[in-house]
Amino acid sequence: MSHRYGDREVLKDIDLSLVEDRIGVIGANGSGKSTLARLLNGLVVPSTGRVLVDGMDTARDGAGVRRKVAFVFSDPDAQIVMPTVAEDVAFSLRRHGLGKAQVAERVAEILARFGLGGHADHPAHLLSSGQKQLLALASVLVTEPEVLVCDEPTTLLDLRNSRQVSALLEGLPQRVVLVTHDLELLRGWQRVLVIDEGRVVADSPAAQSIGHYQALMGAGRPC
């Protein structure tokens, strides 16, 4: 699989099968890692080749793929669409055929799970950065996807909130694909991909891939 933006090829000859529960993706800015993340749930479709999720082609059944694969952006404000915290989470359930009582129950449960139970009626855009990222996670996980793809979800967070989000991701039952510059988040992960100039240049358990990436950046390459 490859992908182009106009005349620029940002991913080249990618051939992967992602089956592990915890998969990290690292690489320098502009390496193609965020494009790879977006390919996994059909936000971007490949220029050549195919991306399949449980046999579904992301280019042909994007809606079906996105029911299975949720996506969290680095900036939670890009995902918050409703005025209050509870309304934003409930909005994700609008096409699930649930009654009002069922929606209210699901919303209350996940807000409590993410430490936002006391903020249900709070204006969503007035939350702290850390709370906004928790809300973004809650709003996608309330639909109970099978896979969660996160594109640098701790970039805008301080250390305390970054650790909180990291702990939540570690404890999820879903398969998690995490794009990040924070190498500490990936320590001990089953599999980490290193993307460089649009190609996978390392694909190993965390320690080996992180070592490869650090050596690559130590060769005078910008991060």
**Model confidence pLDDT, tens digit, residues 11-56:** 999 999 999 999 999 999 999 999 999 999 999 999 999 999 999 9
Task: Give the C-alpha separation, 116 to 108, whole Å.
Answer: 9
Provide the strand spans (E) within the chain.
Answer: 3-5, 8-11, 22-27, 52-53, 56-57, 69-72, 147-151, 175-179, 191-196, 199-204
What is the pLDDT at residue 134?
95
Q: Is residue 130 part of a domain?
A: no
Report, as an integer, the average pLDDT of 60-70. 95
The answer for residues whose C-beta is within 8 angstroms of residue 89's C-beta and 6 or more apart is 107, 110, 111, 135, 138, 139, 142
Report, as an integer, the average pLDDT of 99-105. 95
Q: Is residue 65 part of a domain?
A: yes
φ, ψ (nearest 5 deg) of residue 204: -150, 175
- CATH code of 27's domain: 3.40.50.300
Q: Is residue 182 part of a domain?
A: yes
What is the reported pTM? 0.93
Q: Please state, as a whole number, how many other Cβ atoms lie within 10 Å of the Cβ of residue 44.
A: 20
Q: Which amino acid is at 159?
A: L
User: Residue 14: which domain range?
Assistant: 3-79+144-217
